[in-house]
Copies of this chain bind each other. A is one copy, B any other.
Amino acid sequence: MPTIAVIAPGAMGSAIGARLVEHGARVLTSLEGRGAASRERAAAAGMIDADTAELVAADILLSIVPPADAEALARRLAPALAAAPRKPVYVDANAVSPGTIARIAAIVSETGAPFLDGAILGLPPKPGAKGPRVYVSGADTAPALVLRELGLDLRVCPGAVGAASSLKMSYAGLNKGLTALAAIMILAAEHTGAGPALLDELAENEPALLARFAQALPDMAPKAYRWAPEMGEIADFLGPDAAGRQVFSGYADLYERLAADAGKPEIAALIRFAAAAAER
């Protein structure tokens, strides 16, 4: 029975953990410093609290944390990884830029542990439903294939460390960028009184986009605080593309504003528009 360490038991981590447990894996996590919600999620998923020495003794260690924490986690685990007699395969599955993943790869590789770039595309798996796609890229992806037998939709992304992250950045950038664009234009239309006319136009001429916005805007509202730094990672990813960097810095500013939206008038306007759109 393979042992998989999943750090941390957030919404995605615990859902992935639950699926691995269902398929017979022993799943460890770290509850050190985590709140009651994480403890409940981990317990419900059948994940076992473990100390650092136990975590680095797993067969595979999956890092699933907020993008801003990905490098710090690798640094924190590095001494224990270096000391471990048998190293796990360290898979960083976070939405980080290829530059960040290169730094994390360097930290982990120095400990002697094999490293894979990873990317999760799609929403957390729900019981019985299809899960997200989990991509890995790197020198030797074979040790990660056991995750496929453990219920994950594991796919190999051709290329070196950085390829899976690039795929994630591109795909997430399209999806979350489109939602940001929708928010910008709908707020502007509402602000100038053209909101109802825009809704009519979209219903008549862009029904697929409108249906997407009806779902995506309410889904975004509680996640804007997370998406802001993710847009920043994508801006980094765009490297030499100054125009693209500017666009994604703007998306990051927008999501930051929406997350902080005092009294939430902008969020309320977007939810109203989405509700009217859902009725078309």
Contact = CB atoms under 8 A, between A and B. Distances in A.
Contacts of A174: 181-182, 185, 202, 206, 209
Given A209-B174, A251-B247, A166 B188 contact: yes
Interface stretch (A37-45, A48-56, A234-242): A234-242
A274 interface: no
A198 interface: yes
A255 to B, nearest CB: 8
Contacts of A198: 167, 170-171
Tell me the number of copies of this protein.
Answer: 2
A147 interface: no
Nearest to A258: B243
Residue among A169, A206, A250 facing the most chain B CB atoms (10 A cut-off): A250
Given A133-B201, A201-B121, A201-B133, A192 B253 contact: no
Interface of A: 98, 121-122, 133, 135, 157-159, 162-163, 166-167, 169-171, 173-175, 177-178, 180-182, 184-189, 191-194, 196-198, 201-202, 205-206, 208-209, 237-239, 241-251, 253-254, 257
Contact of A250 (B122, B159, B170, B247): B247
13 contacts: A121-B205, A133-B201, A166-B194, A173-B184, A175-B206, A188-B237, A191-B239, A243-B254, A243-B257, A244-B254, A246-B250, A247-B251, A247-B254
B177 A185 contact: yes
Given A177-B185, A208-B208, A247-B180, A167 B197 contact: yes
B181 A194 contact: no
Contacts of A157: 194, 197
The 4 A-B residue pairs with the shortest CB-CB distance in the complex, in nearest-first order: A246-B250, A247-B250, A166-B192, A243-B253
A181 B181 CA distance: 9
Contacts of A191: 239
A186 B162 CA distance: 16
A188 B205 contact: no
Given A201-B171, A247-B247, A253-B246, A238 B184 contact: yes
Contact of A194 (B167, B202, B241): B167
A166 B184 contact: no
Contacts of A244: 184, 187-188, 250, 254
Contacts of A182: 174
Contacts of A208: 208
Nearest to A177: B181
Contact of A251 (B166, B241, B243, B254): B243
